[in-house]
Structure formats: structure tokens, C-alpha cells
Structure 1
Amino acid sequence: MSTQIQVENPKTMASILMLGAFIGLFGETALNMALTNVMDDFSIKAAIAQWLTTGYLLVLAILVPISALLMRWFTTRQLVIGGLVISLMGAILAALSPSFSILLVGRLVQAIGTGLLLPVMMNVLLLIFPVHKRGVVMGIMGLVITLGPALGPTLSGVIISSLGWNYIFWISAIFYVLLTLFAVAKIANVSDITKPAIDVLSILLSTIGFGGLIFALSTMAEEAFSSPKVWAPLLVGVIALILFGVRQMTTTQPMVNLRVFKFPMFTLGTLIMFLNILVVLSTAILLPLYLKGALLFSAAVAGLLMLPGNAINVIMAPIVGSLFDKLGPRPFVLMGSVFVLIGNIMFMSTISATTPSWQIVVAFIALFFGISMVMMPSQTNALNQLPRELYADGSAAMNTLNQVAGAAGTAIAITLFTAGQSNFLIDSPNAAQPEVLAAGVKYAFYFITGISVVTLIASLFVRKSVDVKENVKSTVKTAEPVRN
């Protein structure tokens, strides 16, 4: 039995939260298409430039676990408006950046705002809509989660070619201003403010754990695994995460209630989400590099070549959402995982410096046709198994792992991309740069294809968490009035 919280404008609230999250997630990959421009402007290498994406995701991975605690200390309005204002400040700082360091700081500040908005969005949507409508609502939210980072390179390619990369941030800033004004007027408070004790040790362990892990993976693009710069933070990060997990399971007021993983379909759904986010973010950073550096397309054309795949995602997400309530998750997750694997096999087998662009477009369409059928059903089915009191914890745990997946995917993709180029140069030292770059991207897709195989195997075990019909009759609770 679930509890729906009655608010005056649930669709308006959902729209504000989704648009805010979309702009933030768009920011995850928007600079991917501009990496070569940024590298030229600030005279830096790809391994340094990728921190604009990896650093953004790293902040999200560190902040999101704390979100379950923040949602019990601050009202919904405070978190949403605060997240939008912080995002606005970061976007303006990045737009005005005179150096790479300032640009990176602006990105990290923007990530703090997104880190506040994402878990709040998921938690609020679970509370203000009844169970029997969650399929459609979560379908749209799944579209936001995948379309934001996927559409980033497409839209930014057009912006970069016509205006310049810093306008990516100016346009985002305009949206943040408008959303903040709407949030002040329309966001209602739906969270339960209990103000639990702040566990400083858990926060430190979480920050060190996720920070060390992602830093180590990112550093592997420049350093060998035997380097202390890689294995030392990796070891510290793993130890910190183990201690963090032990503390969450033993303390009476955990920062993130890891007991949500006692629910098997939640655990499986979160794993499938993790693997698919890893695939999406890896692809989102590799394809722009490939299309611009190997096939020599302009940023605008490279972005437009990725548009059909994103269009498929837009079309499919609401369809899958509406059918989910009738058919459940299994047929979608299984079939979608097959298409994700097919798309990645196509990338792995066709990428070269002379590949016809239509083959890349078809592979990208197959990939996102599958992604659109996997993401929302996995996420919704996972969260449906949790009781209401664990929604915030489930959202925090799932979002944390999603951001870790994104950061890890980006870092691993660049690391393998760099390794692939080095290996190719050993055999072909006189190869042209487009051939070298294509070889690096193809090498990285061997790993991404392997991840797709694991996802397909996991999808075989998906089962429906709840009988939606039994949960249609839900208790309705009224949210407190909006306070301006």
C-alpha cells in the first residue's frame, strides 16, 4: 500500500523538477563536443580536458549520497530553489572563465546544484503521483535521465559552431533563471523534516571512497596502474567505501540506508541502471571525439548525426512508460538489452577512419532504441518494490551509483581510448591521426560491448516487483501549503 501526497499542481512541480534535472544532465556531456575546442583554447591534453566531464560526475557521486540526509533536514522548496540558484552560479562562472581552472570550478559548482536536484526529483515524483500512474511519469523521467546526457553533444555541436562553447553555459543560465522563478511560485513541500543526527564520519567515508575511486580511474588515462597516483587513491577509496558500507549497516541512523539492497528487484534494477548509464556516458564522450577527430565532421554535423538516435529515445520513452503499467518490466528490459548489445557490436565492428556516417547513425539508433526500453522499466520496477519510508534512501542509493557509473564510464572510456591509440601506434607508427583516433575509440568499444553482454545476462532475471492493480487504491496525504 503506497501513500500519495496531494499537491495543488503535481504536473507543474514535476515539469520544473524534470527541466532542472534535464539542464543539469545536459551539462554532463554538453562540453564533450567542445573538448577539442577547449583543448586548443587552453592548450591541454584530452586526459586533462576530460575532467570537465569526470569532475562534474565526481561531484554528483559525492553529493548524491548525502541527499537522503539533506531531504530530512531541508524542505523541498529549499532544496529545489537552492539547487537551481547554485547551478545558475556555476553556469555563469563557467561562461566567463578566462582559464581552464576557472572553467573546471564553474563546472563543479554547477554539479553541486544538479546533485541537489536529481534525488529530490525522483523522491518527489514517487510521492505526488499514485502507483498506477508511475509508468508514464517515470517514463518521462527516464527520458530526462538518458536524453539530457545523450542530447548534450547534439545541441552543443550546433551551439559551438554558431556561437562558441561558452554559450552552452549562457543558455543554461537563462533556463536556470526561468526555472527558479517558477520554482518560487509553484514548488510545494512534500518531504518529512525529521532532522536526524549528522553522521560526519559517514560523510567523510563516502566522500573519500567515491572520490578516490573516480580519481584513480581518471588518472589511469595518463599513468600506469603501477603508479602510486593510481593504486594509492584506488586502495584508499575501496577501503573507505567498505568502511562506509559497514557503518551504514550498523548505525541506528544511516546516512544512506543500504538495507534497500535487501529487496532483490531493487538491487537488480539498480545494477541494470548502473550498467546502462555507464554505456550511455562512455558513448557520449567517445562518439564526438570520433566524429570530429577521425571522420573530420564539424561540431554541428557531428551533433546532427547523433540526433536520430536521440529522436528514437524521445519517441520511445513515453510509449514504453504507458505500456509498462500493462506489461511490466521484463519484456522491455530483455528486448532492450538485446538492442543495446546489437548497437555496440555494430560500433565495435565498423569503426574506422573511413566508416560511412550512415553506419554510425544506424548503430546509435539501435543503441538508444534499446536504452529507451531498459532504463525506465528497470528504475521504476526497482523503486516500486520499496516501501514509502525507503523512497529517499532508494533514490539516493540509485542516483549515487548512476553518477558513479557515469564518472567511471567516462574515465574508463578515455583511459581505454588512450591505451588503444598507444597500442595502434606500436604496430603502425606512421599512421595518420584520424586512423590513430579511430583505433582508440574502437578499442574502448570492446569494453562497452562487454558491459552490454553483462546487462543482457542480468535482464534474464527481471521480475515484476508489485501488482500495480493492487496498489491503485492509495492513501492520500495533503502537502503543506506553498510558502513563498
Structure 2
Amino acid sequence: MVNKDVDKQTKLAIIAAAMLSFLGILVETSLNVTFPTLAKELHVSLGTVQWVTSGYLLTVAVIMSTTGYLNQRFNAHNLFTAAITFNLVGTIICASAQNFVALISGRLLQAVSTGISTPLLFNLVLTLVPQSKRGSYMGFSEMVISFAPALGPTYGGTLTSFWSWRGIFIVALAILIITAIMGEKYIHLAPQGTLQKFDWLGVLLLTMMLGSLSTAFTNAGKFGFTSFSFIGLLLVSVVIAFVLAWHLHRSSRKILNFRLLKQPLVALRWVNYFILAFINIGISFVIPIFVEDCLHQSSFIAGLLLLPGALVGAFVSPLAGKIFDHGQAFSSMLWSSLIMLTGSLLFFGTTGFITTLTIGIIYILMRGGFNLGFSNTLSDASLQITRQENAALNSLFNTTQQYAGSFGTSVLSAVIATTQSHGGSLAASTALGSKLDYGILAVLCVISLITVVWGRVIVKRQ
């Protein structure tokens, strides 16, 4: 098994699953630059229209939490069929939406698709690809997924500026059809089987906890961080979290297997994975807002600005996988944290006088750092468990990734909204909020660096 080559069917199956996940995430971030247009055309506030993204990510996170069970209970072909169906229907609804209710309904259907397809992609890699080549294929998968958030604003900004926001969904529909044909032909993987019953209560509690936490920070942006709307919901989410923890401890049904985190190295990689995902999605939200409000550039320029970084990240991901396959996981994760910390500090220190070109250069640095360590974080965690636990690990990490993106968007947008509510010019208040956001990202990068170094100490002791 170690020296076995990856056959053609496996490669095409992985490509099909990757394309479906890519489209889901691409459309998600492409809508960030369309918020002003959507708010005006659909007659809703910016605070409401942002749920097109945060609500989508929240739904993806909840669905992903169930995929540990789904991948063990159902074969991969049926899961792909369900995912592609949800996406096709959701895309058609979004492309023809005449009001916000229709748009958010279509987005939630697309979220179900992404919630199924992304863990399916990693399950195919972890199950069908030999360990000797796992790093390379994980690098490819993460390259596809991490490329989408950075390409999304360029894709959305271009279509919105020269055509219509509906074009985002119309173009995606054509690609979906090709993806459906490929996946239906090549994706085949029998389930491992499980006697465990589905954890409906766990899903409900998780949904309530994540939903109340995200809504709390949305309310903070509207009413302030000292408002009852924020503090009250934050306390509610904490209470629900304790109830969920008690449920997972007592029940034989496990929506997510948090017991995997009892292994120190897995826990450290999980924390790092959350931080990297938080930064990746969060910064793709902050930069376009800053460029449009402070530098007075168009949505097209704001989106295009992220493209070079996305291309660099796409180039780095396969190299990171090869570094992992050569046993250098620690060095890639260490340099990842150091580079991202440098980028965050540069953004923080130059907010008041930064130019569009400088933003693009620093973002290239951060994208390279992100892709250098992100896929290797999950790959290294997978080596600490048994093969039978891969589905549970996959579900846990991918749920974490999606919610980190939703949470990052909510937190960073709340900070900017709060500074804007204090009065003054839009440019000055947005610049202050962005500077605070960059400070938050820098602190998270320091924590990321600590987890990597701490993990190295544990490995040496073992």
C-alpha cells in the first residue's frame, strides 16, 4: 500500500469532489464585493445582506458536523449525487432570485452541498491515497479549497461590474453540470459501516450554539459590544456549549468526536487549523471593504487585488504537500506562522498610509504563508490516529474550518461596524476598524506559532 500508485479513477474522483467544493467556496466569497449592490437591489440593509455569507458558512459548519456519520453510513457516490443536486437547485434559485428570501434560500441549499462535498473530498484522499503520497494530494485539495476564497472577490467583482451579480451563479451552473457528469462516473467508495444512530439532539444543540454566537457578534456590530443584544446572546451560546459538552460526554451518539482532541498533538493542530481558517476568510473580507471605503477603489479593483495572492497560494500548496511527504511538516508549519505574523504586523503598522499596490504585495506574502502550513496541519493530525478514525477527524477539522470562516467574518465585520457607528468620515472609521482587525489577526498568529512550537516539543519528548 505504501508504494502503490494512485489510479486514474481515484484521481478523477478527487478532482470532481474538489471542483464541487471549489465552486461552493468560490461563490461564497464572490458575494462579499456585491453586498452594496445586493442591498440596494433587494431593498435590505447591509447588516441583513451579510447573512448571505455568514448564514451560508454557519449552515456548512452544521452539515459538516454530520459527515463523520454520513461517510460511514452512505457510499460516496450517493453523497456526491445528493451534494450536486442541492447545489444545482440552489444555484438556479439564486440566479433567478427576485427578493432576499429567495436568495438566502438558494444559498442555504448550496451550503448543504458544500457541507457534504468538502468532507467527502478529504475522505476520498484519506481513504484511497497511500500514506506516502497523502501529503501531495492533501496539498492539492487544500490548494483548490484555499484558492477559492481569494479568487472569489475577483470573480464576483468582475461579473458584477461588467454584467450582473446573477452572472456569479449562471457561470457556476455551467461548471456544475460538467462536475456532475465527472463525479457520477468516477466517484465510488463503499462506506465503512456504523451501528451508531444519528445524533439529532447534538445537531440541534450545535446549530443553536454556533447560531447564537454568530448572531451575538452581528448584534455587536449593530448595537455595540456592551449591548445586551451582544452580551445576552454570548451568554446563551456559552450555556448551550456546556449543555452540548455534557451531551457528548454522556451520549453514545457523537455528532463530533471531540475525544480525538485528548491527543495533545491533534489538539494543537486543531487550534492551528481554526486560526488559519479564521485568518484566511476574515482577511478576504477586510481587504475589499478597506480598499473600497478608504482607498475609494471599485469592487472590481478590490476583487482583482486579491488575485495575485491567490495564484501564489495555489503554487505553494502542492509544494507544501511535497515538503510534508519528505518529513518536514514542522518546518512548513513554523514558516507558515512566522510569515503570516509578519504580514499581519505589516498591515497593522501601515494602515494609515498603505497603498493599493502595497496591500497586494503583503497579501501575496500572507497567502504564501497560509498555504505553506494549512494542508500540512490536517495531514500531520491524521498521522496521529488510526485509519478508522479518519472520517471523524475529517468531519471535526472541516466543521472547524467552516465555522472559523463564519466566525471570522462576524467578528471582523462587527469591529468595523462598531468603529463606523462612532461617527466621523467613513474612510477614517473603516481604517480604524481595519487596523483593530489586523491587530486581532496578529495576536492569532502568535497563538498559531505557539501551537507549532509546542507540538515540536511534544514530538521530541515522544
Secondary structure of the residue aligned to 2:381 is helix
Partner of 1:23: 23
Aligned AA (2:292): K
Instruction: Mark the CA change 1:224 to 1:4 in structure 2 (over 3 Å): closer, same or farther.
Output: farther
Aligned residue for 2:357?
Answer: 358
Give, in whole Å, the separation in 1 of the partners of 2:398 and 2:256.
12
Alignment pair present for 1:440 and 2:433 = yes
Quick check: 1:373 aligned with 2:372? yes
1:174 aligned partner, one-letter code: A
Q: Distance in 1 between matches of 2:66 and 2:270?
A: 18
* Secondary structure of the structure 2 residue equivalent to 1:9: helix
Which amino acid in structure 1 is aligned with residue 190 of structure 2? V
- The answer as to whether partners of 2:225 and 2:231 remain within 8 angstroms in 1 is yes
Distance (whole Å) between structure 1 residues aligned to residue 219 and residue 340 of structure 2: 28
Which amino acid counterpart does residue 322 of structure 2 have in structure 1? S
Residue 158 of structure 2 corresponds to 158
1:43, 1:50 → 2: CA distance?
A: 13
Aligned residues of 1:52 and 1:104 also touching (Cα < 8 A)? yes
Distance 1:148 1:93 in 2: 22
Provide the rounded CA distance (Å) in 2 between the counterparts of 1:208 and 1:41. Answer: 31
Tell me by how many angstroms 1:380 deviates: 0.7
Q: Which residue of 2 aligns with 1:461?
A: 454
Contact preservation (8 Å) 1:56, 1:108: yes
* More divergent stretch after superposition (260-269 vs 121-130): 260-269
Q: 5+ unaligned residues in a row in structure 2: which ranges?
A: none
1:54–1:218 CA contact under 8 A, matched in 2? no
Instruction: Determine the structure 1 residue equivalent to 2:395.
Output: 396
TM-aligned CA deviation for residue 343 of structure 1: 1.0
Which amino acid in the other structure matches residue 462 of structure 1? Answer: G
Give the aligned partner of residue 321 of structure 1.
321
Partner residue of 1:342? 342
Q: Give 1:407-426 correspondences, 5 Å limit.
A: 407-423=406-422, 425=423
- Is the alpha carbon distance of 1:216 and 1:2 closer, same or farther for their aligned partners in structure 2, counting shifts above 3 Å? farther
Pick which of 190-199 and 20-29 moved more: 190-199
Of residues 443, 446, 462 in structure 2, which corresponds to 1:450? 443
Q: Which residue of 1 aligns with 2:14?
A: 14
CA distance in 2, matches of 1:422, 1:289: 15
**TM-score normalized by the length of structure 1:** 0.89
CA distance in 2, matches of 1:263, 1:325: 22
Deviations 1:152-172 (Å, cap 9, x if unpaired)? 112222222221111111111
How far residue 201 of structure 1 moved from its aligned partner, in angstroms, is: 1.9
In the TM superposition, residue 4 of structure 1 has moved relative to its aligned partner by 9.2
- The structure-2 alpha-carbon separation of the partners of 1:74 and 1:327, relative to structure 1 and needing over 3 Å to count, comes to closer
CA shift digits 1:35-58 (9 cap, x unpaired): 122122234333222211111111
Give the Cα–Cα distance (whole angstroms) in 2 for the partners of residues 207 and 3 of structure 1.
42
Query: In the aligned structure 2, how far is the partner of 1:62 from the partner of 1:50?
Result: 18
- Per-residue deviation at 1:31? 0.3
Match of 1:46 in 2: 46
Asked if 2 retains the 8 angstrom alpha-carbon contact of 1:50 and 1:414, the reply is no
Sequence identity (%): 26
Cα distance, 1:17 vs. partner?
Answer: 0.8
Give 1:228 deviation, angstroms: 4.3
Structure 1 residues 120 and 4: alpha-carbon distance in aligned structure 2, compared to 1, 3 A threshold? farther
Question: Per-residue displacement from partner, 1:262-301 (whole Å, max 9, x unpaired)?
Answer: 2222211111110011111111111111222221222222
Distance, in Å, in 1 between the alignment partners of 2:263 and 2:359 is 39
1:98 — aligned with what?
98
CA contact (8 A) 1:216 1:234 kept: yes
Provide TM-score, normalisation by structure 2. 0.94
CA offset digits 1:358-405 (Å, max 9, x no partner): 111111011111101120111110122111111111111111111121
Letter in 1 for 2:17: L
What amino acid maps onto 2:384 in structure 1? Q
Describe the superposition over 1:130-165 as per-residue Cα deviations: whole angstroms up to 9, x where unpaired: 001011001111212311112111222222222111
Partner of 2:77: 77
**Bigger Cα displacement from structure 2, 267-276 vs 289-298:** 289-298
Change (3 A) 1:123 1:395: same
The alignment covers a number of residue pairs equal to 460
Distance 1:465 1:154, change over 3 A: farther
Q: How far apart are residue 206 of structure 1 and its match?
A: 1.8
Partner of 1:477: none
SS of residue matched to 2:164 = coil
Instruction: Check conservation: 2:61, 2:402, Cα contact below 8 A.
Output: yes
Partner of 2:212: 212
Q: How does 1:135-284 map to 2 (within 5 A)?
A: 135-194=135-194, 196-284=196-284
Distance verdict in 2 for CA 1:247–1:8, change over 3 Å: farther
How many Å separate the matches in 2 of 1:338 and 1:59?
A: 32
CA drift of 1:250 comes to 3.0
When structure 1 is superposed on structure 2, of 142-151 and 435-444 the one drifting more is: 435-444
Whether the 8 Å contact between 2:91 and 2:173 is mirrored in structure 1 is yes
1:295 alignment partner in structure 2 = 295
Alpha carbons of structure 1 residues 222 and 422: separation in structure 2 relative to 1, 3 Å: closer
Give the SS at the match of 2:450. Answer: helix
Query: In 1, Cα distance between the equivalents of 2:283 and 2:307?
Result: 14
Question: In structure 1, what residue type is equivalent to 2:389?
Answer: L
Q: Deviations over 1:403-423 (max 9, x none)?
A: 121111000011001122234
Superposed CA RMSD in Å reads: 2.3
Q: How far 1:7 moved relative to its partner?
A: 7.1
* Alpha-carbon shift at residue 440 of structure 1 (Å): 2.6
Letter in 2 for 1:363: I
Closer, same or farther: CA 337–248 of 1 in aligned 2, 3 Å: same
Counterparts of 1:325 and 1:365, CA distance in 2: 25
> CA separation in 1, counterparts of 2:251 and 2:237?
21
**Alignment check: 8 A CA contact 1:420 1:441 kept:** no
Please say if residues 275 and 404 of structure 2, whose CA atoms lie closer than 8 Å, have aligned partners that are also in contact: yes
Rounded to whole Å, the distance in 1 between the matches of 2:66 and 2:239 is 19
Q: Flag the 1:262–1:394 CA change in 2: closer, same or farther, 3 A.
A: same
Query: What SS does the corresponding residue of 1:15 show, helix, strand or coil?
Result: helix
Please tell me whether the aligned partners of residues 249 and 258 of structure 1 are also in contact (alpha carbons under 8 angstroms): no
Distance in 2 separating the partners of 1:214 and 1:26:
21
61-70 or 334-343, larger mean C-alpha shift: 61-70
Q: Distance in 1 between matches of 2:414 and 2:69?
A: 34
Q: How big is the shift at 1:248?
A: 2.2
